[in-house]
Amino acid sequence: MEIYIEKNYNDVSKRASDIITTLLKKRPTAILGLSTGSTPLKLYNNLVGKFKKKEISFKKIKTFNLDEYLSLSPTDENSYRYFMWKNLFSKIDIDVKNTFFPTDFKPNYKNYDKKIKLFGGIDLQILGIGRNGHIAFNEPNAKFSSRTREIFLAKTTIEYNARFFKDTESVPKKAVTMGIKTIMEARQIILIINGENKSKIVYDALFGSVSTKVPASILQRHKNVIVILDKMAAQDFKK
Ligand code: GLP
């Protein structure tokens, strides 16, 4: 595991977008795993900037998103498809036919994993971490052997994500998430984290015991993970 502690969110996003840029230049047909949430916003913005400067093209890539709320339509502004469209896909030269979401495979989610395999597997997976240690929507106690499937969101996740909705009641109770095993099969993973409110869980995930109580702790067992975080998120490292 390589760990980079950056000054701030801008630098976290810059390092992550530079790694993706290098990959896309070397492998224009790369398969990317994408995440949502507030953390990757600046990273996506940087990639749009590099596309506009003609440094990179997304024409031949394929993308697989980590997760999606079950009951939201793709045009709902809280759906992750809408998020990806708004923040990345509408601003680059990607072919939308090459962008995949697990809910598209309902109810045969096994076919999501099959599709990933069919294309040769994910070259690079972008990951964030939830405040309860979740990766994608693999909540605490999810099995490390899990595959893409429907899940019930943890109460903590519903409360945390309520900031994007009218109120807590409007947050869907169920979602579809890539499984932990599916995520671990990616050839490379970039975990990006910022902000003080993630410092404790990040410490537990990176340095605590590998346990289903903290799903992100499984990343300690992946051979090629780059963790990029800002000083605030790394503040518990010294203690
Ligand atoms: C969300 C997503 C995750 C994301 C995480 C962190 O609920 N399902 O894929 O990594 O929670 O979100 P944020 O970056 O907004 O803190």
Helix (H, G, I), strand (E, B) or coil at 125: strand
CATH code: domain of residue 114: 3.40.50.1360
Quote the DSSP letter at residue 158. Answer: H
**Residue 239 confidence (pLDDT):** 63
Average pLDDT over residues 219-232: 98
User: Of 134, 148, 36, 152, whose CA–CA distance to 83 is shortest?
Assistant: 36
Active site residue 134: yes
At 103-139, the pLDDT tens digits run 999 999 999 999 999 999 999 999 999 999 999 999 9
Cβ atoms of residues 160 and 130 within 8 Å: yes
At 2-54, the pLDDT tens digits run 999 999 999 999 999 999 999 999 999 999 999 999 999 999 999 999 999 99
Q: Which band of pLDDT confidence, cut at 50, 70 and 90, is reported for residue 156?
A: very high
Rounded Cα–Cα distance for residues 109 and 119 (Å): 16
Rg of the chain over all Cα atoms, to the nearest angstrom = 17
Indicate which residue of 6, 68, 139, 230 is catalytic: 139
**Residue 56 confidence (pLDDT):** 98
Which of 64, 129, 159 for a ligand 1 pocket mutation test, highest count of atoms within 8 Å of Cβ?
A: 129
Q: Residue 69: in which H helix or E strand, if any?
A: strand 67-69
Q: How many structural domains is the chain composed of? A: 1
**Residue 238 confidence (pLDDT):** 78
How many whole angstroms from 191 Cα to the centroid of ligand 1?
Answer: 11
Indicate which residue of 6, 46, 65, 67 is catalytic: 67
The order of strands in the sheet holding 225-230 is: 2-6, 225-230, 188-193, 124-127, 31-34, 62-65, 99-100
How many whole angstroms from 160 Cα to the centroid of ligand 1?
Answer: 9
Average pLDDT over residues 152-177: 96
**Residue 8 confidence (pLDDT):** 98
User: Of 31, 55, 12, whose CA–CA distance to 188 is shortest?
Assistant: 31
Range(s) of the domain holding residue 82: 2-238
Active site residue 139: yes
CA-nearest residue for atom 9, ligand 1, is 136
**Residue 202 confidence (pLDDT):** 98
Q: Pairing between strand 188-193 and 124-127?
A: parallel
Active site residue 6: no
Cβ atoms of residues 43 and 11 within 8 Å: no
User: Of 17, 27, 84, whose CA–CA distance to 51 is shortest?
Assistant: 17
Show the ligand 1 pocket: residues with CB < 6 angstroms: 35-39, 66-67, 128, 130, 136-137, 157, 161
